Structure 1
Amino acid sequence: MMRFVGIDPSTKTGFVALDKQGDVLRRKELNGIGSKDPLRMTTLVDEIMEHEQTGDIICIEGFGFSSQQAIQLGGIGWGVRMALHRKGFKYFEVASMALKKFCGATGNRGPEGKAIKADKIEVSKQVLKRWGFENGSDNVTDAFVLAKVAEGICMHNTDNLVHKYHQFQLEVLSSVLNPPEKKKKTRKKATI
C-alpha cells in the first residue's frame, strides 16, 4: 500500500502517514526511551523505522542550523537518514522555508499590511485553513505538511497537478524534485 509520509526529526519527532486519498492514517510524536543519549536517540530512530512501510514516499525536513541544539538535532537527523538508507528507503529533503511556503505560511500580511512572521503559529493556522488538520504538536503539524509534499511529489507526473496546487506549491515541489547542485569549495593553494 502506498503511503505519503512526513518526518520532522527533532528530540520530539513528528510522524504523519497519509493514504492515497490524502486521509491521515497515523499521526504521532515520537520521543524514544528515557532522557539520556545515546539511548534516547537510538530508540527514537528505531521507533521511526518501526513506522515505515515498503512503498512509502517519504519527505523529511532539512537541517536547520540556527538552533542551540544543532549538534544533537544533526545527530538525530543523520541517524534517521542513515536508517532509511540502510533499509532501502528513498526520501526527499524539504527545507524548513519550503515547508512553510508549501502550506502558505510565507508572504502573508496582517490587516495593516504588516508582514506576518512565518512561525509555528502561522504554520498551524495555514494548515488548519488549507487542509483542516490540527494537532497540539508543532512537530506533527510540520510532519503533516511534509506528507502533503510527498503526496505532491507522487502527483507531479499527473495532468491535474496544475489544477490541484497553487503556483507557490508547484515551486516547492520543483525545488524538492530538482535541488540545486551544491558547489564544491575550492581551496586556495598556499604560496611559498
Structure 2
Amino acid sequence: MRYIQRDKNCSGLDRRRTMPDGYEPSPRPVWTMSILTFVKNKIRQRINPPLHSPDYEAASRFLGSAYGGWPLLETTQRGAILFSFGLGEDITFDLAAIDKFGVSVFGFDPTPKSAGWIKRQQLPKAFNFHQVGIADFDGSAEFFPPENDKHVSFSATPSNYTKQLNKRANKGGGATAFHLD
C-alpha cells in the first residue's frame, strides 16, 4: 500500500512524500497545533520556501529504514543501475533495491568511518563501493571529522570543535594532526 502525506498545515502548500507501508497519519486534528508551532512554521516557510512541488506522481515503493530509506519507482527494471552517494552506515535502501528490483548499486562515500563499516559487511555482488565523493569540481577536498565520535558524516567546513583543536595545537607553532581509524 502506498500513502502520500499531504501537508497543508499552516501554509496551503502541498508538499508530498511517500511513506513506508503500514504508516498511518496522526489522528490529531490540525487545530491542536500550538500557536507557537504555527508561527514557527510560517517563519520557516518564508525563510526557506520549497524549491518545487511535484507535477507528476508515479507509483513508488519506500525501501530501507526510516533513517536511510527512499522511495523507488515501481517501474524500475531489473538490471538497472542505481548510484548512491553518502552511504554512511545505513545501506538498507541500497540492499532492498538489489533484493526487490535486481538493480546494481554503485555506492560512494569518502569518509573513513563509512569505508571501514562497509568493509565489515557481507555484501551481494551487485553492490559496488567506491571511497570517493562528489563535488562541483575535480580534485581533492579536505574534510573535517564530526564533533561527536558516534557520528559518521565528515564536513567540508571545520566545526567549532575542530577550530579549537587547531588553535590549541598551533599555539606553540607545532603542526596539527588527526588520527582517523
TM-score scaled by length of structure 1: 0.24
TM-score scaled by length of structure 2: 0.25
Q: State which structure, 1 or 2, has the greater radius of gyration over its C-alpha atoms.
A: 2
Q: For CA contacts below 8 A with separation 6 or more, give which structure has more relative contact order.
A: 1
